[in-house]
């Protein structure tokens, strides 16, 4: 969100240069930032958030607020937007590819309808140390947070106000990897908490299906809702979406590139259980 004023400031014309310190030394970055906000205030422009101007300026010039679009249906409340620009998303994707270590062995199997299956993607969880999460018959203990995940988590918090203590990461090597219809309604989740789903890499179809419209025993005709989750995007799934709607990432044979999805969750701590 680099505005014209900010560009002019960088060339040193919009705001008067902050005075030199008593030592006569050149102004520090913090002093230049104060000068910028002082000039903005004089021109009656708002600054945000109050009290953290230097930090806010640095974040603001890197991270324009996403333009949210609301997705709604009966009992479905989601917001979708681009959380990262293309260049930053490219860098994060590469960093995730280098630094995320996926589960191996037993943890790559799921228990579905009494049988064990290899999951058709790679998976891993990271989070606060005391947490556990049971998903399709397997209990996961999170690996400790790493900086790239904290960076994404902080960005979500900055733009949504929500903090998360756990993330499930799925890596789809190409369009043959997928995730079947399910709801994220595990008992360990903090009741009514949202789930923040961030995607990098290949754009994939993501489909919501209402619980009353599934299969042969459907009792209502509610159209599925199809989204395309783009590189650098955030989908906020808010209560009560996961009560009424199943979601899936179906196979797409024409997709040849990999995709990484991170679903940030609020898991109950022992004290809350």
- Contact residues toward Mn ion (CB under 5 A) are 184
Q: Which of 263, 264, 266, 267 binds ligand AKG (CB under 6 A)?
A: 263
Q: Phi and psi at residue 266, in whole multiples of 5°?
A: -105, 110
Shortest distance in whole angstroms from residue 40 CB to ligand AKG: 39
Q: Which of 33, 53, 165, 261 binds ligand AKG (CB under 6 A)?
A: 261
Q: Which of 174, 181, 184, 205 binds ligand AKG (CB under 6 A)?
A: 184
- Which tokens in the block code for residue 188? 């360990």
Shortest distance in whole angstroms from residue 23 CB to ligand AKG: 55
241 binds ligand AKG (CB under 6 A): no
How far separated are the first and last CA of the chain, in Å rounded?
A: 42
The CA distance from 159 to 145, in Å, is 20
Considering beta carbons, is residue 15 or 96 the nearer one to ligand AKG? 96
The helix (run of H) or strand (run of E) holding residue 71 is strand 69-73
| Residue 126 in marked binding region | no
Greatest Cα-to-Cα distance within the chain, rounded to the nearest angstrom: 80
Considering beta carbons, is residue 57 or 247 the nearer one to ligand AKG? 247
168 binds ligand AKG (CB under 6 A): yes
Residue 249 site contact among ligand AKG, Mn ion, none (CB < 5 to 8 Å, cut-off depends on kind): ligand AKG
197 binds ligand AKG (CB under 6 A): yes
Considering beta carbons, is residue 149 or 229 the nearer one to Mn ion? 229
Contact 93, 200 (CB under 8 A): yes
Q: Which of 179, 196, 198, 255 binds ligand AKG (CB under 6 A)?
A: 179
Considering beta carbons, is residue 184 or 205 the nearer one to Mn ion? 184
| Residue 165 in marked binding region | no
CA dist 218 → 76, 116, 168, 243 (Å): 18, 28, 30, 16
247 binds ligand AKG (CB under 6 A): yes
DSSP E strands, 129-254: 133-135, 138-140, 166-172, 179-182, 195-201, 204-210, 225-229, 233-238, 245-249
- Which tokens in the block code for residue 25? 């030394």
Residue 6 site contact among Mn ion, ligand AKG, none (CB < 5 to 8 Å, cut-off depends on kind): none
- Which tokens in the block code for residue 120? 């058709």
The CA distance from 257 to 200, in Å, is 11
Query: Binding residues for ligand AKG, per CB under 6 A?
Result: 168, 170, 179, 184, 197, 199, 206, 229, 247, 249, 261, 263
């Amino acid at each position: 969100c680099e505005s014209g004023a900010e560009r002019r400031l960088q060339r040193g014309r919009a705001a008067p240069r902050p005075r030199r310190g008593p030592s006569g030394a050149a102004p520090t970055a913090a002093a230049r930032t104060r000068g910028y906000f002082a000039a903005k205030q004089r021109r009656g422009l708002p600054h945000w958030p109050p009290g953290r101007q230097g930090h806010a300026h640095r974040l603001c010039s890197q991270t324009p607020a996403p333009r949210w679009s609301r997705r709604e249906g009966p009992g479905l409340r989601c917001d979708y937007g681009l959380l990262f620009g293309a260049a930053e998303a490219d860098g994060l994707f590469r960093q995730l590819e280098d630094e995320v270590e996926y589960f191996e062995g037993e943890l790559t199997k799921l228990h579905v309808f009494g049988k064990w299956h290899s999951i058709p993607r790679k998976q891993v969880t990271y989070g606060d140390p005391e947490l556990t999460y049971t998903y399709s018959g397997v209990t996961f203990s999170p690996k400790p947070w790493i900086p790239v995940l904290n960076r994404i988590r902080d960005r979500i918090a900055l733009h949504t106000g929500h903090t998360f203590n756990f993330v499930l990461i799925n890596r789809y090597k190409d369009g043959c990897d997928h995730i079947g219809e399910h709801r994220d309604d595990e008992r360990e989740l903090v009741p009514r908490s949202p789930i923040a789903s961030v995607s990098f890499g290949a754009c994939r179809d993501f489909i919501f299906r209402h619980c009353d419209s599934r299969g042969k025993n459907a009792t209502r005709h509610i159209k599925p809702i199809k989204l395309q989750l783009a590189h650098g995007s955030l989908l906020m799934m808010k209560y009560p979406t996961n009560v009424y709607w199943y979601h899936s990432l179906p196979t797409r044979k024409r997709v040849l590139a990999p995709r990484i999805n991170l679903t940030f969750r609020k898991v109950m701590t022992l004290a809350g259980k």
